[in-house]
A and B are shown apart, each in its own frame.
Chain A
Amino acid sequence: MEFTGRLDQEDGAMAPAAAPRKPHLVVIGNGMAGCRAVEEVLARDAGRFRITIFGAEPRVNYNRIMLSPLLAGEKCFDDIVINDQAWYADNGIELVAGDAVAAIDRQARTVTSASGRCVPYDKLLIATGSDPFVIPVPGKDLPGVVTFRDMDDVGAMLRAAENGGHAVVIGGGLLGLEAAHGLTLRGMGVTVIHLMSTLMERQLDEAAGWLLKTALEGRGQTILTGADTAEIYGDGKVEGVRLKDGRDIPASLVVMAVGIRPNVTLAKAAGLAVGRGIQVDDHMVTSDADVLAVGECVEHRGACYGLVAPLWEMCRALADGLTTGPSGYEGSVTSTKLKVAGLDVFSAGDFSGGDGAEDIVLRDAARGHYRRVVVKEDRVVGAVLYGDTADGNWYFDLMKKGEDISSIRDNLIFGQAFASGGGLADPKAAVAALSDDAEICGCNGVSKGQVVACIDGGAATLDAVRASCKASASCGSCTGLVETLLAVTLGDDYSGERATKTVCKCTSFTHDDVRREIVAQAMKSIPEVMQKLSWTTPDGCSSCRPALNYYLLCAWPGEYVDDQQSRFVNERMHANIQKDGTYSVVPRMWGGLTNPRELRAIADVVEKYDAPMVKVTGGQRIDIFGIRKEDLPAVWADLNAAGMVSGHAYGKALRTVKTCVGSEWCRFGTQDSTGLGVKVERMTWGSWMPHKFKIAVSGCPRNCAEATIKDFGVVCVDSGYELHVGGNGGIKVRATDLLCKVGTEREAMDYCAAFIQLYREEARYLERTAPWIERVGVEYIRQRIADDGVGREALTARFLYSQSFSQDDPWAERAEGGDRQLHAHLGEVRPLASIAAE
């Protein structure tokens, strides 16, 4: 085909008056953006171009988004066609379907297809979309491994599903979850493997991700987060997936849905400017003025998009530029709405508000809803909604328009209806205006009238209201309402202060409330507690996270997985941080005993790592100072080799068991205090507690081991063992209370275990035994440990059970390479000059 005078015609300026030969617009990609661009051009000037569309897929233009409902069996192909054959014919468009373009020749201004068809163009539009990313693991090419991008992929999944069996979906993002849902509906058992700890982590925060995961699990899917695929295995076809941690999941189908990459192959080969995508200006023009690009394959102002909304805006700008007059595209703010099996999720904006940004969080535990709006300088900058997403578009709109929300701020989180409800701007007035039978507490069915009656009856604090009418005593999400009612009803008499302190500013619950509810509601993760107890922040703070982590660990031994990021530095690093950022290392010396081998290993470490100081501690062991975090695993390996383990000198845990020489050597000794101390330390080491815990065993009442200022102290006497509790030698010295006297070593140890367990289960985080006993009274402790034999034995048994999971030396794990990232640097920065010099 010959083509001349194209410049003139394109300009329009020198176009011949009669029957001009139309310029030829060639489109590569018969997908959502390519066809939409053509529609937009036709709508503006139907006669402007002669149009040819190449499509690699052997079919007309359809709605890719609807592949999910298609897979789920809610739609068939005809339902999802956007433009049928008639549309191409009516608009004089030549569709070359099932024949991909193989090359672009910009010199000759032609494109050539795989079958060899060569077509010249005046304007070329590249709309090649994205390619699914396939992780390069062994077995990725086995039959039965599919991606989720087009009709053919869906066909392959449907064929596999006909035989039932199990499917593994790799990738817990939007696509992966939709594939998993569809396959579940088609009758397959489905396991989703996700590398990150949160599903859809790019769109959702931890709280919403947790809710989504729980709901999907409730629908029968298995969701493995933090799971890394090692290989796909099978003989001639897929038989299963193996994870890096050794787990093995048999499967006959594997769907890879780990992400997409802009398809830039053609553009790159044609020498166009390509970054992550094909680079375009605001009019979707590439580095060649006659080549345009649109859709997921482009990079505009540094951004690539994976949702359709931005593509529509691009297509508008592109059509304006090609026809009526350039308008320009300025980039998009995107939002995500996902609906899987009736689960609604919405997210928009980015949450990296940082400076001055404030989170407003609303959790409705009874209905499992979560809502978080990020506000900065009186503007909405981001939102995550789970459960009820009806207000998503409203927040998105406020965000896009940058509207000043200061006048509706107090009610913003309750949604459009409430916030724009007029006259309700003052939350106090709104609550005062509620009718008497309006429900305040949904969990316990308490009306406003009942709450007010109970306040009038003398309940002047939140705790009193909770105790008398149960309002706000369950999930706590109505706490704000109850407090407002207190303020409205009592006026100036309401102090606003709670009788007992809450855990921190993130919650209206006290430590005791939280501990009780963790057990009562069988809550097993931090996000779950935060959701069910209506935390007001998305991920807590440095006060509540460590407390929750401890409470969960204590409540569910062997089951709860410790959250490292919720631990103070010392417990995360298993060493004590020093003022210069180095660490000190204290190996355990059982009962204060040591031997030449241990001392030699310590001496060697001090020399090998150039430790500036070694010191005997007040806890009868040796402290090595000035170790760098990178060297810690090696230091531990050396100490492990000599048989030594962590001394937990850094932990809210058992520290030391101090002993004296006792009856073995001392002329006054009555019992083997050294031997008992060693046994007690062997039994109690490694246990996590509300605060640090120290034990001592003295061989006689001269008490050289200072047992009467320890959390648990034993003073040996001729007739047996005096057990002392609640001593403290620190900031406020407190001598112990005598708990009771026992006759045998065995009893001394059992009572010790029971006492520790009572402390572990009932004290508040960061409360040492001394203030705890002052709070609950030593009588209470005596009753639980000394008087109630059955109760004591149960406590002892629970302690020993939990110890069966906690007596692994954390140093040995690290020395073998566990949590390496905590000790190693990430990358390195050098001046350019020093790199060039290499």
Chain B
Amino acid sequence: MFTGDWLDIGPIDQIPLRGSRTVPVAGGEEIAVFRTGDNAVFALVNRCPHKHGPLSQGIIHGHSVACPLHNWSISLKTGQAEGADKGCTPTVPVKVDAGRVLICRAATLAAAA
């Protein structure tokens, strides 16, 4: 577990409902932080398992995102491609505390490396 290493990246209302924002990682890949229609928050590396589309730019429905490049559906919880497609994007632990979005620094650095 990566305890005690939660990094505050900003207030939750800075991510639109059914929207996403990106977080650059020094020396690594960008992270996409998603907020779903029912206000759950997820974080994934901003890269589709298919051909590396930026998932942050997809349409968010339920707890999935449709990749903007070729419409693969990716589970926000697990990073797995859904349906017939196969592939997985690394996920990053994220939580909301008192309206602030926190992501796990160690896990982020590991996932984005």
Contact = CB atoms under 8 A, between A and B. Distances in A.
A733 B80 CA distance: 38
A546 interface: yes
A3 B68 CA distance: 72
B85 to A, nearest CB: 14
B23 A828 contact: yes
Given A826-B21, A828-B23, A829-B24, A581 B54 contact: yes
Contacts of A830: 25-26
A355 interface: yes
Interface string A402-429: 0000000000000000000000000000
B62 interface: yes
* Most B Cβ at <10 Å: residue of A276, A355, A821, A827: A827
A788 B112 CA distance: 62
Contacts of A202: 39
B59 A276 contact: no
Nearest to A359: B62
B111 to A, nearest CB: 10
Interface in B5-39: 7-10, 13-19, 21-27, 30-31, 33, 36-39
A437 B6 CA distance: 62
A308 B69 CA distance: 48
Given A206-B37, A539-B62, A565-B16, A834 B26 contact: yes
A826 B7 contact: no
Interface in A653-710: none
Interface string A352-371: 11110101000000000000
Contacts of B9: 826-829
A581 B26 contact: no
A832 B27 CA distance: 12
A6 B73 CA distance: 65
Contacts of A565: 16-19, 59-60
A352 B77 CA distance: 8
B62 A541 contact: yes
Interface in B58-78: 58-63, 66, 68-69, 71, 73, 75-78
A545 B18 CA distance: 11
Contacts of A572: 57
Nearest to B98: A276
Given A198-B17, A205-B37, A354-B78, A577 B61 contact: no
A541 B39 CA distance: 16
B103 interface: yes
A566 interface: yes
Contacts of A99: none
A568 B59 contact: yes
A206 B60 CA distance: 13
Place the interface of chain A in its size category: 35 or more
Nearest to B37: A539
Contacts of B73: 542
A825 interface: yes
A537 interface: yes
B52 A581 contact: yes
A355 B75 contact: yes
Interface residues of B, number: 56
B33 A826 contact: yes
A352 B40 contact: yes
Contact of B27 (A197, A198, A541, A831): A831
A232 B46 CA distance: 41
Given A542-B66, A829-B108, A566 B59 contact: yes
A387 interface: no
A354 B42 contact: yes
A171 to B, nearest CB: 13
A354 B43 CA distance: 12
A542 B59 contact: yes
Given A538-B37, A565-B59, A829 B105 contact: yes
Interface in A173-193: none
Interface in A581-598: 581
A564 B16 contact: yes
A573 interface: yes
Contacts of A581: 52-54, 57
Nearest to B23: A827
Interface string A319-362: 00000000000000000000000000000001111110101000
Given A205-B38, A821-B16, A545 B61 contact: yes
A483 interface: no
Given A196-B13, A354-B42, A546 B59 contact: yes
B112 A829 contact: yes
A51 B80 CA distance: 58
A537 B16 contact: no
A626 interface: no
Contact of A829 (B14, B23, B76): B23
A561 interface: no
A831 B42 CA distance: 21
Interface string A811-837: 000000000010001111111101000
Nearest to A358: B62
A496 to B, nearest CB: 21
A105 B108 CA distance: 43
B25 A829 contact: yes
B68 to A, nearest CB: 4
B112 to A, nearest CB: 7
Contacts of A567: 59
A542 B58 contact: yes
A240 interface: no
Interface string A537-571: 11111100110000000000000000011111110
A558 to B, nearest CB: 23
Contact of B18 (A539, A569, A828): A539
A827 B59 contact: no
A512 interface: no
Given A569-B58, A821-B14, A354 B38 contact: no
4 nearest A-B pairs in the assembled complex, by CB-CB distance: A354-B77, A827-B9, A352-B40, A542-B66
Interface of B: 7-10, 13-19, 21-27, 30-31, 33, 36-40, 42, 51-54, 57-63, 66, 68-69, 71, 73, 75-78, 80, 97-98, 101, 103, 105, 108-109, 112
Given A545-B61, A821-B19, A832-B105, 10 more contacts: A201-B17, A352-B77, A354-B42, A546-B59, A564-B19, A572-B57, A826-B14, A828-B26, A829-B23, A829-B105
7 contacts: A352-B63, A354-B63, A542-B71, A566-B59, A821-B21, A825-B22, A829-B25
